[in-house]
Amino acid sequence: MSAANVTSKTATAILNSWLDRLDQSLTTPAEAPNVQYYGTGESTHWAIQSNWNVVGALTARGVLQKDPRSIHTALAIFRYLLGTHRTGDLVATDGKQWQNHWISVLGIERAACCLKLLTPFMTAEDQLRFKNLQLDMAEWLLDEYDVAAGLDGLSGRNRPESNLWNGAFLHRMCLDYPDHPRCHEFRKKGTKLLLNGISLEQDASSLSRFDGIALQEWHVGANFTENYSLDHHAYMNIGYSFICLSHVAFTHYYFKLSGAQAPEALYLHAKELWQTVKNFVFADGRLLRIGGDTRARYTYCQVYALVVFLFAGDYWQDEEARSMQSGLLAILDKEQQINQDGSFYGKRLANIRQQSYYYYTRLESDPAVALANVLTISDRLGISDSGTIGGKQNPPCFWTDDFHAAALLRTGNSIRSFVADGGQGPMALCLAADRSDMAEWQSNFFFNFGLHRNQHHVLRHNILRGKDQFVGTSVTEWSEEEPYGEGEEVYRVIRSYAAVAGLPDGKTLLVCEYVIAIKDATLDFRQTVNWQLPNDCFNGGKRWYRGGNNFTCTTASRPGQSLLIPTHTTLLHVDGTTLESIYGVEQFFIRQRETPAIVGQSMRARKLHSLFTDEICGEYHPSARVKKGACLADTAFCITADTQWEQSIANAGKTQQLPTEGLLRAMLCRGVNRVQYGFAVNFDTVAHKEFNRTLSPGEAILVEISSSELESQAIVHGR
């Protein structure tokens, strides 16, 4: 697909399709017939953000396409926001006015570049009220808001994105209202917030100067690890790394549109963060979230990457970013075409719309303002169209981070990763780099089970890196949060011991797991292996499987009922990736649910579905009571990416379990490079010896085994 098909013309068409049907989501309050609101119109965070998003989108269309009706509607919603703020004279639909807090400026920041286009259409009263609203916010941030930063997401001090948007807002107030008597204070606190956005531990000793003061004096804490891993929402959160960069982009362009230079503090570590997280993007623009996601799939963080790609392609002249932007526009366009009603997510997120219109309208408005920014910035600054899709398909990368025991290995046309502290516990990926539609993060390749609301707790983890290989281990427990019964306590009920190895053959991943119940519990379901394969709009709603014993099967998305399909094989191939059991699996099953399997488990207990998947299981058990001490999983398997079925058949049976004592687990695996490897992990509480190495409890090793050593192993193990 050429750039002309997916750049500004496509962005305009996508935005227009959504705005053409916007009226059905707008309401005119009876008590204030000159204003309108989008969605639920409440005074709370997301409702306010959504309305700013829509104002930005309408303004972009109204000005760039010379559409007076869009300007009229943008002003009506704008006046609703002005009136329902605490400086205004209206109340929102919940009978309250929206207040100043840590996130109150977010909607304005995302719409700011577009709002510059709206200014000529504002009355003098509009401009005065907007000034009063913004300066009220600025003084609140100055007097009431604490500057905090910290690595650990559970501490409540990990605030990179909010420090950036609040710091940027204060600097914008200095730009727009330079005569305000507290302007110097705004600038100083704004700089402190910005410098504690993309902040690292090394900043605590840095003598680099900002506004004449050394960075070490501005520094409050590190939000990112030295390898640019982020623990936002208490897991390795690639998505929020992009949110941070999006605010660098929004602010950069606001200043540029104003003919001014953005504060130097805005760019601290931004390029280094981009150079890291660009490795966490597929060539088609979809985020490669190796640490998972606890929100609706392919929505919030994904769409704001559009602005990041624009910024990186323009400011840092990164051609891959231009290509990613084109690809992501194509993905948005594809889903909108499938929906057939102009919505961005109307079909895929119907469950969310039914359960929480508040959340759904927030999600729907995010792509609108992201597209509006891309169009406004490109038009006003003359930024040329993006490049063609799929520039560099899979740039090589080997990245590790100790904080989350995380590894990403990109080689050839394969992507392999492991994160011990992911959004829903440990998770791994192994897939071809050109198959972003196969990436899913919900406990992928690890024991999966149902509780009312399960929360993971990492007891220990480790990552070891070799030249072109990695070994990761983790011990994780799960508790059932917010139990139903009165007086019922929160207990930890499941413990998983896991080990993963990325082989030096460029394509193979080994996964080994031992799971026990540590308390009596009732599980809604439980399944081993748990390969989560998206089967939704992005792959055309079909998956085709081949397996041993001449197994073939085609599954359709949205089956209308729950299905459990036996395969009668321990070798399964789908869309260029092969799964083979080493031990613990008698046959694979393909599980399909009547409702989407992928749920959002954020700060709230409600589960909101966002994606259908095929779940490849080793064992599946429906709701049952399990007893303390019961072994729930004892499995090992290998996944090979970017391979053909004929290769899979030829290499079948080249993995084998070795006999061991206690909870030591060991196996042999021949890689696609025809080299033999030994992998061992000690799940026991005492040391064991394997491959001429003593393994302490929790330790795992991956070794290359020569022909003579292989023969020796056969003798030792009696084969």
End-to-end Cα separation, the chain, in angstroms? 55
What is the predicted pLDDT for the residue at 2?
Answer: 40
Q: What is the tens place of the pLDDT at every residue in 6-54?
A: 478 999 999 999 999 999 999 999 999 999 999 999 999 999 999 999 9
Would you say 193 and 167 are in contact if contact means Cβ atoms under 8 Å apart? yes
What tokens does 98 get? Answer: 């929206």
Q: DSSP string spanning 578-612?
A: EEEEEES-S--EEEE-SS-SEEE-SSSS--EEEE-
For residue 517, list its beta bridge partners: 494
pLDDT mean over 255-267: 98
The residue to which tokens 């719309």 are assigned: 353
Query: Alpha-carbon distance 677 to 679, whole Å?
Result: 7
Across 145-154, 226-235, 641-650, least confident range: 641-650
Q: What is the tens place of the pLDDT at every residue in 554-593?
A: 999 999 999 999 999 999 999 999 999 999 999 999 999 9
pLDDT surpasses 70 at 291: yes
Q: What is the tens place of the pLDDT at every residue in 476-498?
A: 999 988 778 888 899 999 999 99
Q: What is the tens place of the pLDDT at every residue in 206-260?
A: 999 999 999 999 999 999 999 999 999 999 999 999 999 999 999 999 999 999 9
What tokens does 691 get? Answer: 């491959």
Model confidence at 663, in pLDDT bands (50, 70, 90)? very high
Query: Alpha-carbon distance 511 to 497, whole Å?
Result: 11
Q: Where are the beta strands (DSSP E) in 518-576?
A: 521-527, 531-534, 542-547, 551-556, 563-566, 571-574
pLDDT surpasses 90 at 510: yes
pLDDT surpasses 90 at 56: yes
What tokens does 366 get? Answer: 């995010």
Biggest CA–CA distance in the chain, Å, is: 90
Find the DSSP H helices in 145-231. 160-176, 183-195, 215-218
Query: Alpha-carbon distance 177 to 172, whole Å?
Result: 8
pLDDT surpasses 90 at 605: no
* Total Cβ atoms within 10 A of residue 693: 12
Query: Alpha-carbon distance 462 to 406, whole Å?
Result: 8
What is the predicted pLDDT for the residue at 172?
Answer: 98
Model confidence at 389, in pLDDT bands (50, 70, 90)? low
What is the predicted pLDDT for the residue at 386?
Answer: 57
% pLDDT > 90, the chain: 90
Q: Which residues contact 66 (CB under 8 A, 6 or more apart)?
A: none
* Average per-residue pLDDT for the chain: 94
pLDDT mean over 299-312: 97
% pLDDT > 70, the chain: 96
What is the predicted pLDDT for the residue at 488?
Answer: 85
Q: Which residues contact 427 (CB under 8 A, 6 or more apart)?
A: 290, 291, 292, 418, 419, 441, 442, 443, 444, 445, 446
Model confidence at 711, in pLDDT bands (50, 70, 90)? low
Side by side, the strands of the sheet bearing 620-626 are 448-449, 521-527, 620-626
Q: What is the tens place of the pLDDT at every residue in 319-355?
A: 999 999 999 999 999 999 999 999 999 999 999 999 9
Burial class (CB in 10 A: 0-12, 13-18, 19+), 537: buried
pLDDT surpasses 50 at 603: no
Query: What region does 94 belong to: left with phi over 0, alpha with psi -120 to 50, or beta?
Result: alpha
Q: What structural domains does the chain harbor?
A: 7-145+347-389 (no CATH), 397-716 (2.70.98)
List phi, psi (to 5°) of 30: -60, -35
Q: What is the tens place of the pLDDT at every residue in 82-141?
A: 999 999 999 999 999 999 999 999 999 999 999 999 999 999 999 999 999 999 999 999
Query: Alpha-carbon distance 237 to 427, whole Å?
Result: 13
Q: What is the tens place of the pLDDT at every residue in 535-559?
A: 999 999 999 999 999 999 999 999 9
